[in-house]
Amino acid sequence: MNQTNASRMEAACSLLAESERRFLLYQLADEGSANLEDLIVQVAAWELDARADTIDKEVRQRVYVSLVHNHLPRLEDYDIIEYDLRSGDIVLAEGFEDIKPLLEQFRQTEAEPELRERPPL
């Protein structure tokens, strides 16, 4: 593996290491686009393993701050998403295709408890 590919792989792993980023990318992968308010509630629900209608204002505010000040700008810097903070619209960008296979591996692992419980190699 050349240095460029290794650097890209490290960046992809770093981006997907955070659960909030993975959760928002799962939603975008399924829908293609999302609104920030809807995404906040969905990410919080996944994090807490709760129904979206049970997410309180404090949790929504925490997720909002985390997404707006950390996750969304970072994903935009890597051309994974494009977003407009004023309208709240978020869409996938060209760079998403580079991390999509790795994201799907994460999703499968998180969706199947027997894969999560496997002892480390």
Q: Is 76 inside any structural domain?
A: yes
Residue type, 110: E
Residue where the block lists tokens 């309208």: 87
Per-residue pLDDT at 88: 94
Specify the pTM. 0.82
Per-residue pLDDT at 21: 93
Q: What is the domain-level CATH number for residue 11?
A: 1.10.10
Q: Which residue has the higher pLDDT, 121 or 3?
A: 3
Q: Is 27 inside any structural domain?
A: yes
Q: Is 8 inside any structural domain?
A: yes
Among 72, 85, 86, 58, which Cα is nearest to 28's? 72
Per-residue pLDDT at 103: 93
Do residues 8 and 101 make contact, with C-beta atoms less than 8 angstroms apart? no
pLDDT in tens, 30-56: 998 999 999 999 999 988 888 989 999
Q: Is 121 inside any structural domain?
A: no
Please state the domain count of the chain: 1
Q: Is 66 inside any structural domain?
A: yes
